[in-house]
Structure formats: structure tokens, C-alpha cells
Chains A and B, each alone.
Chain A
Amino acid sequence: MVSRIEIEDRIVRVIRGEFLKHAEGVLEKYKNQITSTVNWYISTLPRHIKSSEADDLASEAKIAFVDALKTWDPRRGELWTYVSLRLKGSMQDYLRRKKMDQISGMYEWINSAAYVYMAFNREAIVSDQVDDLLHVDSALKVLTEKEKIVVEKYYKNDKTFKEIGGEIGLSESQVSRICKEATRKMRKEIKST
């Protein structure tokens, strides 16, 4: 005996199968919303990522959109509500895979600054990278003491949020929030210099 829910699932599956044959049309209909979401997400990223990754992020979002159509179930809510979360997630995943999300991006940046510092001491100066180093230095000045501690432990001592939280008496998520806020402040400071 087939249950009601099994039949309803089948109906949704059959319609979705036919619906997916027209995925291009759906993509076309949501083109502007996808573009706005991608542009909004890109606007939150550091300049060096914005310029190099914008096109790839747009493609990534389109792929995620079509993928999301394959699993969307109208019984659980509106398409755009479901898809927009997936778009943002896919762009974040893409940058994470490339180690360029806000936090690891900053880590790469500081690493590169450290390299420049060493190069500076060896008198092998690359002027534009030295500028980066100076900007990072001045950006650190805008942080509160707690933020400095977190940033230093995270980026310099390579500790996890959990370990840092244990040391300074905060939860892992609080440390993560502080680190994100510090990263945001530093980025803003660097942009303004």
C-alpha cells in the first residue's frame, strides 16, 4: 500500500523532472536577482579578491542556482528563499576552497606582509608589498586590546578559536565574532589609507 506522502513525493519528483528541462528559463527569470546577490556579496569582499574573483563567483552562483533547482521542494517554501541561501554558501565555499574568505584572506595577507618584512630586513625591498605591510601595521592600531590579542593568537600563533577562547575565557563563537569584527575593522582601515 502506497502512502499519501509517497504519492505526493512522486508528484513533486515528476513535476520537478519536467521543470528541470526548462532550467535555462528559470535562470533567465531570476537573472537580475542572482546578479544583485553576487554584486552584494562581492561588495563585502576585500579589493584584491573583488577584482580577481568576480567573474568566477558569478559563474559559481549560477551553478549553485541550477543545482538548487534540483532539490527545491515547493512544500517547504519559496524558491528564492531557498536558493538565495545556497548562492551565498556556494560563493563562500568557492573562496574557502581558494583560501580567500575574509579570515583566511587576511591570514594570507599577513603572511605575505611577514615575508615582505623579512625581505625588508634583507634589503630586498619590493615597494608595493612594503606598502601593504605598512597598511596592515596601521590597521592593527584601530583594534581594541581584546581584538589585538585574538588576531595575534589566531594569525601569528596559529591557534584555533577554541584554544584562544580557552585562554581568554570566551566561547569559540565569541572569539570567532571578535576575529571577524577585527578583520572587518582592519579591512576598512586599510581601504581608507
Chain B
Amino acid sequence: MGAAIPAGIPPILRRFWDFTRNMAGKFSKQLPDPEKYEEKFVNVVEKDAKHWG
């Protein structure tokens, strides 16, 4: 069972929400302040998702 998806997430991204969080977590773990970066990484995907076909 994945984490709850916040409101305002584009429908297409909802399907990839768990994957996005998972990848954001793995990238952010390589940085000194993982929690801060995890949110940042999810946000860039959210922004990008607005341009997905």
C-alpha cells in the first residue's frame, strides 16, 4: 500500500506516485539532508508532469 497522494497531483503522475517517491528517496539519501531533498525532488517531478502528453 503506497503513501496517500496529495491533492493537486496530475492524474498521470498519480499512477507513478509511489515510483516517484521511491526514486526521490533513493537520490536524496545520497545527500547530507535527505528529507529536505526528497520533497524538492518530488516537486520537480510534479512540475515536469504538467508537460507530459
Chain A residues within 8 Å of B, Cβ to Cβ: 2, 7-8, 10-12, 14-19, 22, 25-26, 28-30, 74-75, 79
Contacts and interface: CB of A to CB of B under 8 A. Distances in A.
Contacts of B16: 7-8, 11
B32 A29 contact: yes
A74 B27 contact: yes
Please classify how large the interface on chain B is, using the bins under 10, 10 to 19, 20 to 34, 35 or more: 20 to 34
A22 B28 CA distance: 10
Given A15-B24, A15-B45, A8 B30 contact: no
A12 B32 contact: no
Given A2-B52, A11-B16, A25-B31, 4 more contacts: A8-B19, A15-B24, A22-B37, A74-B27
16 contacts: A2-B52, A2-B53, A8-B16, A10-B48, A11-B16, A15-B23, A15-B24, A15-B27, A16-B27, A18-B41, A19-B27, A26-B30, A29-B30, A29-B31, A29-B32, A30-B30
A14 B32 contact: no
Interface of B: 12, 16, 19-20, 23-24, 26-28, 30-32, 37, 40-41, 44-45, 48, 52-53
A6 B39 CA distance: 23
Contacts of A74: 23, 26-27
Contacts of A7: 12, 16, 52
Chain B interface SS verdict (over half): helix
Contacts of A16: 27
Nearest to B53: A2
B20 A11 contact: yes
A19 B52 contact: no
Given A8-B16, A8-B19, A19 B30 contact: yes
Nearest to B24: A15
Contacts of B26: 74
A14 B48 contact: yes
A7 to B, nearest CB: 6
B20 to A, nearest CB: 5
Contact of B32 (A11, A18, A28, A75): A28
A105 to B, nearest CB: 35
Contacts of A8: 16, 19
Residue with the greatest number of chain A CB neighbours at <10 A, chosen from B12, B30, B32, B37:
B30
